[in-house]
Structure 1
């Protein structure tokens, strides 16, 4: 089974809708070779210093290298790439704020075995989010070509809303793509790294986004120290979490805006989301409680 690919000129909504329907989407040739060359050069000292995985799930021949915003200036460009941000914003448009969830280069070395299929939402303490509620949108940038031989990601397309038993009846496909292309996949779809039977390393840049009200997998405030964060532009900082994640979530001290606090200011945090909608939800909640008490 071949997976669907989109050109970099595709409308974000078209890519997002495919992601919603099938749990994945591949957009080809989003970044040029020069960008990927710079990122690899910036990251290589950290990749070489990264340990291999602890077990078969992590990959005994797989290195995971994080803190990319602080370590690799070029990674900041990927985090805020207009194609990616457009798709992610549309896919997660049901929430007030979207935040950066993690940044990581995954290096799958020769001899690595196939990873167990899994759903990334399990990171949230296995909380049973509803089938129609998406809490994250993931990207995997091809830092090298992704091929069947070097371990391109396996995807069970359409498994997002199904049980494991139902999902395993679906055809398995690998996300083969050229360097500079991006695989989008949601937090519910069954997927996993492939076995690397080639003679080369397969490298992917895993940049994941989540709804603003959950805890980030990679702690962006420590992964990127304040002295570096203060040098970054406001849009990137807001994506990293220097904003309110929802109504009344994430202010500092006396309701100071987190971005202002980082910069040394005292501006009040702005309301995120609709106050009217918040009040309406609160009224409905109270009404529901009253109805329960009357019926009880």
Structure 2
């Protein structure tokens, strides 16, 4: 007769069923634990907002700090980009009365009353720098500001280089490392530019901001250029200062043509 064996019960440990081999039977979860698992939500409850994010006073101070920081950054950017902003193209109204330089891109012929005898600039000589086809010459005041003004006296003498003007309009041509420079005979300082690119006469030494290149124009006269980083910018008029044209280096417009009248 066959012997009946009862089925093994689940146990968390080994359970011997009478054979030589042992079988492991994991204990199944109880009905209570299954019900608890079924009722547990999949997503946990979101955290409650911190008091700092709901405090209106704290929000106000944060916004104020952000505004002050952005304003500070804006001021710094303006100071850094100021040279490029100053050297931007002027409005047409600013150039209408700039001695009509846009009407005189080249020297006049010998029949014009403004005709003069111009020589190429070379170091060791002193010159009057005149805007071609006009009676405007480059002068300097006591504050080191460079002006483009009409000389005083008879232009019939000035046109031939015979007019004796004061030292503020006399420029000694010098040379340094292949670059030309112009030192005012009265102030003893060099012609150069400031941070905005405007021409000034304040430097006591001939350095990078006082370097010039003279380029002969195909129609006569000379184009003056100044260094701008690795490039060369020509001299031009960017507006008026106290009723007189204001000179600066620029990279737009028609280059002004200059004449060097030896004195």
Shorter-chain TM band: under 0.3
Greater RCO, CA 8 A, separation 6+: 1
Q: TM-score, normalised by structure 2?
A: 0.24
The answer to which structure has the higher helix fraction is 1
